[in-house]
């Protein structure tokens, strides 16, 4: 069963998109008029996840050939670096053990805030109560998925990775049982130049060139805080794209049912492509906006 066949109201990627631009979310997930264009970064990410899961990456290479292949049929520089990184990564003893003992690409659902969320887990071991999430990047300095363990507004305003981990943990507890604090949440940030593993006892320094940094995500009280704050966001988000307090999940449902018009952010690809009159911004205006 594919993830599209699983009944659900929300996923983390949809939630993030909906809070960045409700109009784009509505066009993609409700009316299906909008399909964001692929990119080399997205294609490489999908490819790497398949390799890490032990799947045949050939279909993905064929699907995204225009993004992964340069002239004369050779891989692009970034894709070649990803291939070399993947070869080193799958050879790590730690990864080989995990590949044998953890379930790969498992879809779970959990009801939060009145919505059924679809959680797609890269690796899960229900016995050891461990969830591992892969993140591949070619540029660590701009990597947005590194957990930023500080509060910056509410869930709608921040979209921190820790919120996603809290949702995953809630789904694992519902399906496999146990207390939330019995589960270890871990992400593996992987790039051609560095591997950051948040798993206790992860790969030792020197196992991947040039260095390995290990950080244990053991601060359960932080995930508890994010989960509690999430619950508050379902009830009343103080700041959002709506520019006024809203009930988060009910607002999504009202947009889906046509009861309210989805607000437009005005700057995303969908808004720019569908706005009535093109808006020409000056360099000075761009600098002031930043």
Handedness of CA 9, 13, 19, 20 (dihedral sign): negative
Give dist(CA 30, CA 196) in Å, integer: 37
The residue extents of the domains of the chain are 3-22+92-261, 38-91
**pLDDT given for residue 202 in this prediction:** 45
**pLDDT given for residue 183 in this prediction:** 83
pLDDT in tens, 170-224: 899 999 999 888 887 776 777 776 665 544 444 443 333 223 333 334 456 666 7
Which one, of 194, 171, 173, lies nearest residue 182 by Cα? 173
The parts of the chain modelled with pLDDT lower than 70 are: 1-4, 139-162, 187, 193-223, 225-226, 229-245, 276-290
**pLDDT given for residue 214 in this prediction:** 31
**pLDDT given for residue 107 in this prediction:** 93
**pLDDT given for residue 63 in this prediction:** 93
Give dist(CA 242, CA 270) in Å, integer: 17
Give residue for tokens 């009535």.
276
Token pair of 268, please? 């995303």
**pLDDT given for residue 111 in this prediction:** 87
CATH top-level class of 3-22+92-261? alpha beta
DSSP string, 155-187: HHHH--HHHHHHHHHHHHHHHH-S-GGGPEEEE
**pLDDT given for residue 139 in this prediction:** 62
Find all residues with CB under 8 Å of 56, minimum gap 6, and list them: 50
What pTM was computed for the model? Answer: 0.75
**Is there a contact between 27 and 33 (Cβ–Cβ < 8 Å)?**
yes
pLDDT in tens, 270-279: 998 888 655 4
């Amino acid at each position: 069963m594919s993830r599209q066949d699983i009944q659900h109201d929300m996923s983390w990627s949809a939630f993030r998109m909906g809070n960045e631009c409700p109009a784009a979310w509505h066009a993609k997930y409700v009316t299906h008029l909008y399909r964001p264009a692929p990119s080399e970064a997205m294609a490489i990410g999908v490819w790497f996840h398949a390799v890490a899961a032990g799947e045949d990456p050939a279909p993905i290479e064929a699907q995204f050939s225009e993004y992964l292949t340069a002239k004369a049929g050779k891989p692009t520089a970034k894709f070649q670096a990803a291939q070399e990184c993947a070869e080193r990564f799958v050879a790590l003893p730690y990864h080989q053990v995990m590949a044998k003992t953890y379930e790969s690409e498992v879809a779970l659902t959990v009801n939060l805030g009145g919505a059924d969320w679809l959680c797609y887990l890269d690796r899960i071991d229900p016995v050891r109560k461990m969830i591992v999430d892969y993140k591949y990047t070619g540029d660590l300095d701009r990597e947005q998925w590194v957990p930023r363990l500080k509060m910056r507004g509410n869930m709608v305003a921040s979209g921190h990775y820790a919120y996603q981990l809290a949702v995953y943990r809630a789904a694992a507890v519902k399906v496999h049982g146990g207390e939330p604090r019995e589960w270890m949440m871990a992400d593996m940030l992987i790039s051609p130049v560095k591997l950051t593993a948040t798993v206790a006892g992860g790969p030792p320094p020197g196992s991947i060139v040039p260095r390995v940094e290990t950080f244990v995500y053991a601060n359960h009280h932080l995930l508890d805080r994010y989960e509690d704050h999430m619950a508050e966001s379902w009830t009343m988000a103080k700041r959002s794209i709506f520019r006024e307090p809203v009930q988060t999940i009910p607002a999504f449902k009202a947009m889906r049912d046509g009861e309210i018009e989805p607000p437009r952010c005005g700057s995303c690809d969908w808004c720019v492509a569908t706005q009535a009159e093109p808006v020409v911004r000056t360099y000075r205006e761009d600098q002031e906006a930043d």
